[in-house]
Amino acid sequence: MILILLGAPGAGKGTQAQRLEDAHGLIQLSTGDMLRAAVKAETEVGLKAKEVMNKGQLVSDDIMVGIISERLDQSDCKNGVILDGFPRTEAQAEALDQLLNDKGLSLNAVIEMKTDDAVLVERITGRYTCAKCGAGYHDSFLKPAVEGVCDKCGGTEFTRRSDDKAETVKSRLEAYHNQTAPLLPYYKDKGILKQVDGMAEIDEVTHQIEAVIKQI
């Protein structure tokens, strides 16, 4: 199964992708997480991406398509993947179609997580992540059962993203509306676009995504 979660920054793509990984044995392919790992490791891609990400802009299509193509070839992806944050431009969407076609694969569904921009700044500025296993949390909306201890791995150190500042979120939202939202009609025309209410509570969003998966 190959799913795309499509939504604005803070729509809940990462939160839901982690749940789908656990529930369906799929692999979350978050291009944002891959880029952050490259920035941390100071690889060539990381050095190119760092400044672009901190400005809230998009990294070049060539780099992104290369990253995804390589990752899809790894053996853990053979049971299926959830694309989280890719594609983000029409050029990436077209390249993905070509890539999947070449690999004899196809997209099962593109799930739009619909949100109002007004809630996203609060979601993003309150977000934090377990430094050890990457599980995501929120200051108000998703706290660990025991404060300061990761539910998944027991880790006690957490990090916040350097692009999660209110001023950067504005540029990220602009990039979403100008460059990524045009993918909605692109996938609608192919008959694979589904929608869920990204404004609902986290469990309800999961429930709506599960209902979409059942129909596949």
Contacts to ligand AP5 by CB under 6 A: 7, 9-15, 31-32, 35, 52-53, 56-59, 64, 85-86, 88, 92, 123-124, 126-127, 136-138, 141-142, 163, 172, 200-202, 205
Q: Are 196 and 31 in contact (CB under 8 A)?
A: no
Write the DSSP symbol of residue 60: P
| Nearest to 29, CA basis, from 59, 5, 57 | 5
Catalytic residue among 50, 88, 123, 194: 88
Question: In the bound complex, what is the minimum distance in angstroms from residue 215's beta carbon to ligand AP5?
Answer: 21
Say how far apart CA 52 and CA 136 lie, in whole Å.
23
Closer to Mg ion by CB, 138 or 188: give it. Answer: 138
Catalytic residue among 132, 152, 161, 188: 161
The site partner of 134 among ligand AP5, Mg ion, none (C-beta below 5 to 8 Å per kind) is none
Say how far apart CA 187 and CA 172 lie, in whole Å.
22
- In the annotation, is 152 catalytic? no
The site partner of 88 among Mg ion, ligand AP5, none (C-beta below 5 to 8 Å per kind) is ligand AP5
Say how far apart CA 176 and CA 174 lie, in whole Å.
5
